[in-house]
Amino acid sequence: MRISRKLLKVLLAVCAVVLCNQAMDFVLSPNYGSARITFTELQERDDIDMVIVGSSLAEMNIDPGILAEKLGISVYNAGTAGQSPESTAMLVEYLIRYKHPKEIVYAVNYSSLGNLQSLASQIAFNAAYKDAVPLLDDIRADLRFFSTRDHFRTAEALSCWAPWSVNHTFLRPTEIIKNVIEKIKGTAPSESLNIHSPTSRYYNSGFQAYDGMLDYNDVGKKTSIGYFNEDFYPPALQSLKDIARMCRENDVRLYVVNTPKPVFDVVSYGPWYFEKMQVLEDLFAEYEVPYVDFSLAVPELYEAKEEYYHDYDHLCYDGAEVFSASLAELIPYFRSGGYKDLFRTPEAYLASIKTISSVDFDLKEASQGYLIQAFAWTGSNVECEYRYLIRESGTEEWTVVKDFSVADACGIQPGTGTWDIRVEARVKGESAVRYYTQTVRNYR
C-alpha cells in the first residue's frame, strides 16, 4: 500500500509538471512562428506537387504562388527560420511519408552547414514537428535532437521539453494577453505573424517576405561569413546525403539552390566561397542531384539588382518575386538536365562586376592614433580609390584626412574624445561613392 501511495504521488507530481509545462507553453509561446505556421498548414494540405525546404533562405526568398502559376502545379514553401540540414532531413522524411510530393527544392546556404546553429530555432522546429506527427515519431525527434550537433547535447538543450523557455517568449503582460486571446480564438498562426511582425509579412503557402531594402553604406562586417565555419560540419554534410538518398529512393526529384546574394557577401569569402560551392556540387553530383548558385546566374535568367536585397542573405519582397519567377523558369531545365549553361564560372562572375557593392575597413592602434586598412567589395578587374575623413561625434562637418587616391591604407590621429571615422570608395574615375563609418573613443 505504501509503495502504491508513493507511486501515486510520483505520478501525480509528474502529471502536475506536464500540465504546468503545457500551460506555460500555451501562454508564453507565440501563436506565430515559421515552424508553427509550416506544420499547421502542412497538416491541412494533401495536394502538394512541389515543396520548398530549407532555412529562411527558402522561407523568405521563394514565392510558391509564382512557381505554382508558371509551372501549373501545386507548391508549398516549408522553409523555416534557422532550419538546419538535420531538421531539413526530418522534414523531407515527413513530406515523403505523409505528403508524397513529386519534387523538392532545397534552398541551402553555407552558414547553415557550419557547426553553430541557433538552439532556439531548432527547438521551435522540433516542437512544431512533434505536434504534427504520431507519438513514435515524436520520441524519435527528441532522440535525433540530442544526437546531432555538439551544442544540442547540453543542459540548455533540455529546454526542448519546455520550448516556451527559449521560443521567442512573450514577456510583456499586454503581449501575453494578446497571445492567449489569439490562441483561444483560433487565430491562424500566419494571421498572428502579420499582427506582430514589424519587418515582414506573410503572403501565401508558407511564404513571407521582408520589407525594406539593404543600406549598402551600413554593411561593414555584417556578412554571412561571420556565421560560417571554415569547414563544413560533417553531420550537416551527412544530412545533405541523407536528403538526397531519401529523394532518390522514393522517386522524388530534388533540386538544390543557393539563393542569390549581394556582391559584397560573395566577395567577402574570398576563394573560400567557390571552393565550398564545388564541395556541394560534387556531393550532390554523386546522387545525380543538380546544385546551382543563383549568384552566378546569367543575366538572361536572373539579373541581380541592388534594390532586390534586404540583407546579406535575404531578398526583399520585390526581389523575391523576381527571383521566384527566375526559379520557375529554371525548373524545366532541371527536369531535362540542361541547366548548366545558365550559370557562369566564378571567374566570369567576378569579371562581370563593375561597381563597388560596399566598403569596410579595419582600425588598428598605432603609436600615434590609428592605422586604417580599407577594402572595397567589388569585381576582379575594378580599380578603386579611397578617401579618409574624420569628425567629432555629434557634429556635422567632416574633415578630409586624405583625398581620393588608390591608397588603401591611411594613418589618422584623432584628439581626445569620441570620433567618427569614415572611408569612402569609388571606382577610379567615377563619381558614385560607397562609404562606411565607425565610431571610436580615443583616450589619448
The larger pLDDT score, comparing residue 338 to residue 344, is at 344
Q: Phi and psi at residue 191, in whole multiples of 5°?
A: -70, -40
| pTM beyond cutoff 0.85 | yes
In this structure, which topology does domain 358-442 adopt according to CATH? Immunoglobulin-like (2.60.40)
At 296-305, the pLDDT tens digits run 999 999 999 9
Is the pLDDT at 1 greater than 70, yes or no?
no
How confident is the model at residue 157, as a pLDDT? 62
pLDDT of res. 116: 67
pLDDT digits (tens, 9 = 90+) for 201-239: 888 899 999 988 999 999 888 888 766 666 788 888 999
Q: How confident is the model at residue 334 (pLDDT cuts 50, 70, 90)?
A: very high
| pLDDT reported for residue 284 | 96
Neighbours of 74 (CB within 10 A): 18
Give 128-171 pLDDT, tens digit per residue: 888 888 887 777 777 777 666 655 556 556 666 666 666 666 66
Q: What percent of the chain has pLDDT over 70?
A: 91
Q: Give the per-residue pLDDT at 231.
A: 79
| Residue 443 confidence (pLDDT) above 60 | no
User: Span 416-426, mean pLDDT?
Assistant: 93
Question: Quick one: pLDDT at residue 149?
Answer: 61
Predicted confidence at residue 170, as pLDDT, reads 63
- Overall average pLDDT of the 317-321 stretch: 95
State the pLDDT confidence band at 289, using cuts at 50, 70 and 90: very high
For residue 97, pLDDT beyond 90: yes
Percent of the chain with pLDDT over 90: 54
Greater confidence (384 vs 163) lies with 384
User: Residue 251: which region, alpha, beta or left (left: phi > 0; alpha: psi -120 to 50)?
Assistant: left
Compute the distance between CA of residue 200 and CA of residue 60 in angstroms, rounded to an integer.
9
Residue 2: is its pLDDT beyond 60?
A: no
Average pLDDT over residues 113-128: 77
Bigger pLDDT: 433 vs 131: 433
3-state per-residue secondary structure call for 334-351: HHHCCCHHHECCHHHHHH
Between CA 295 and CA 263 the distance in angstroms is 8
Residue 182 has pLDDT above 70, yes or no: yes
Torsion angle, CA of 321/314/53/59, rounded to 10 degrees? -70
Query: How many whole angstroms separate alpha carbon 215 and alpha carbon 224?
Result: 16
User: Would you say residue 349 has pLDDT above 60?
Assistant: yes
Query: According to the model, what pLDDT value does residue 292 have?
Result: 96
The total of other beta-carbon atoms located within 10 Å of residue 427's CB is 19
DSSP secondary structure string for all residues of 65-111 = HHHHHHHTS-EEE---TT--HHHHHHHHHHHHHHT--SEEEEE--GG
Per-residue pLDDT, averaged over 273-280, amounts to 91
Average pLDDT across the chain, whole number = 87
| Residue pLDDT, tens place only, 3-53 | 677 777 778 877 877 787 677 777 777 777 778 888 888 988 888 999 999
Mean of the pLDDT values across residues 238-263?
A: 96
Options 3.30.70.980, 3.40.50.1110, 3.40.1110.10, 3.40.50.2300; which CATH number does 12-349 get?
A: 3.40.50.1110
Q: Supply the pLDDT for residue 113.
A: 83
CA quadruple 313, 316, 319, 323: dihedral positive or negative? positive
Question: What pLDDT is recorded for position 317?
Answer: 94
Which residue type occupies 309?
Answer: Y
One fold for both 12-349 and 358-442?
no
Q: Are 114 and 84 in contact (CB under 8 A)?
A: no
Mean pLDDT value of segment 77-90: 91
Q: Give the per-residue pLDDT at 167.
A: 63
Lowest mean pLDDT among 243-247, 395-399, 438-442: 438-442
Break the chain into its structural domains and give their ranges: 12-349, 358-442
Q: What local confidence, expressed as pLDDT, does residue 62 receive?
A: 96
Per the CB < 8 A criterion, the answer to whether 302 and 328 are in contact is no
Q: What are the tens digits of pLDDT across the range 66-83?
A: 999 999 999 999 999 889
pLDDT (mean) for 297-317:
93
Which has more pLDDT, 441 or 152?
441
Assigned C-alpha cell, 64? 510558391
Place of cell 567589395: 377
